Structure 1
């Protein structure tokens, strides 16, 4: 492999806000190491053998499932022919960033395995697109509405567990208040506005909250009339994450009755993105949606 140009970054562009997300950094660093390995003409087993790694360690690092230690990073960069003090320093700085604890780990007591990938990566997204057929999307819920939704779900939860789930959702929402927050585009089924969740006071406060959020420049809200949502046939809650960096693949989170699916398989993600495109094209405009929202609010 030819030596790297010391005047160029190892990465295509500055990583920006993504540097604050350890999970996203692990994926990016792993992808870069895979790119360097392929350029060096090596397979994972070769690397494991030459560096004395345990079996499949290289693959786990490349997939972002195994944090990369600084000593491992140095050995890998040397093996792949990466030289230049700036390159090594840049990579090690990001490795150090990726080893910081993720904020969501403090909620591991209430985080399910299928939900963790969404929570871990959504704050690193450039755009979040969400559709909910039964409830207000989680990132737009008040704490009282969230509590009512959780209590109405399957199974009996202890009050402490309910509280922790509400706190987790509020923490996720707080990322939308950051200067580099993702743009959020949400489509809500019209029936959601008609469904009184948690009682009239809770629902009125939720509608007031939506009326305030719809005015924010980084949030787009559309209402899907009943005939539109039936025609598009999405039928389940979907969250789509779009990342600004090509190092991160777009993702889709699809909700089911008792669990969910998080996928970054391009064909599957593209399918759901197309359905969200169709739904958005058929839903009411943000201006019309605002009118519907305020009309419904006036009925409380």
Structure 2
């Protein structure tokens, strides 16, 4: 690792010192993966050096788990990064990456796999998403959000449901605050036909969608039934893009009790192409607005 590379990493640390800990973990994981592959070291051997499995090395390199500074130090030694001036920025990044995010106070409600997503969402500059069952979480009105949350949390108390709705609303500040997130959503017609929470909740939800699409950073397209089959045969997914060039696009697919994260270029490029085709097949944004307005009239 050159002094120039160390200086570059140091600049990255300064740039992101107040950023999302998830992004800091990904930045560090990306650097560690690059160092490992440059040295031709397998994940198994890297895992052995820190008394862990190759699977943990994979999770570390994807930024999905927190780092122990001792583990980072051992990996740097294994990868030949001995100079204290070169090690210091990476060890400092490991320390900063373990800081709790704003969502920490909701930690008792969040499975670890979704906590990763919230961190990614908070750091993304743009998200493109396709949904075939629910309105995307960032566009859900409170009553609709509560109805969706109740489906997966049947035993939750009213107080817990309130906190879960508060968390969802807090995430939505990315769309209206400073440093706004660009959101481009393609939703199946079934999403706005399925009456979750009753007629009033659906009316509130459609009105909320119309209000949000008036924002420059929000685009919504409806995929109508009459278009037949389409490119997203596998179901819902999201593509997250970040302002940092060091970070790859991440494809996120949520399951019932876990989630899948893809960050290899070949995989993310495939999903980008699928999303591009969906955007062509779906109603254009203005046509989608007229369709949503027609639902209110009914």
TM-score interval, normalised by the smaller of the two chains: 0.7 to 0.9
Residue 118 of structure 1: aligned partner: 117
Please list the CA deviations of residues 96-145 of structure 1 after superposition, one character each: whole Å capped at 9, or x if unmatched.
Answer: 43232122232222212442322221111121111211221111001111
Asked if 1:132 corresponds to 2:137, the answer is: no
Is the alpha carbon distance of 1:157 and 1:76 closer, same or farther for their aligned partners in structure 2, counting shifts above 3 Å?
same
- 2:51 matches 1:55: yes
The residue aligned with 1:273 is 272
Correspondence 1:195 to 2:189: no
Worse-superposed segment, 3-12 or 246-255: 3-12
Tell me which protein shows more helix as a share of its residues.
2
Partners in 2 of 1:29 and 1:209 — Cα distance? 38
Residue in structure 2 matched with residue 243 of structure 1 by the alignment: 242
1:21-32 equivalences under 5 Å are 21-32=20-31
Radius of gyration: which is bigger? Answer: 1
User: Which piece of structure 1 moves more, 211-220 or 166-175?
Assistant: 166-175
Aligned equivalent of 1:213: 212
Q: CA deviation at 1:226?
A: 1.1
Aligned equivalents of 1:47, 1:198: Cα separation in 2: 50
Q: How far apart, in 2, do the equivalents of 1:196 and 1:26 lie?
A: 40
Checking the alignment, whether the CA contact within 8 Å between 1:175 and 1:181 is kept in structure 2 is yes
Q: Distance in 2 between matches of 1:20 and 1:249?
A: 17
TM-score (norm 2): 0.80
Q: Is the 8 A contact 1:61 1:68 kept in 2?
A: no
**Residues 134 and 33 of structure 1: CA distance in aligned 2, closer, same or farther (over 3 Å):** closer
Go from structure 1 to structure 2 and tell me whether the alpha carbon gap of 1:275 and 1:260 turns closer, same or farther (over 3 Å shift): farther
Consecutive unaligned residues of structure 1, counting only runs of 5 or more, are none
Count of matched residue positions in the alignment of Structure 1 and Structure 2 = 292
Q: Is 1:262 equivalent to 2:263 in the alignment?
A: no
- Report the TM-score when normalising by structure 1: 0.79
Cα distance in 1, alignment partners of residues 268 and 93 from structure 2: 28
Distance of 1:221 and 1:18 partners within structure 2:
33
CA distance in 2, matches of 1:17, 1:216: 27
Q: Is the 8 A contact 1:18 1:24 kept in 2?
A: no
Distance 1:17 1:176, change over 3 A: farther
Rounded to whole Å, the distance in 1 between the matches of 2:17 and 2:227 is 36
> How far apart are 1:272 and its partner, in Å?
3.1
Q: Over the residues paired in the alignment, what is the CA RMSD in angstroms?
A: 3.6
1:128-167 mapped onto 2 (5 Å cutoff): 128-153=127-152, 155-167=154-166
Residue 219 of structure 1 deviates from its aligned partner by 0.9
- The residue aligned with 2:180 is 181
Distance 1:33 1:131 in 2: 32
Provide closer, same or farther for how the CA distance between residues 141 and 295 of structure 1 changes in structure 2, counting only shifts above 3 A: same
Deviation at 1:54, TM superposition (A): 4.0
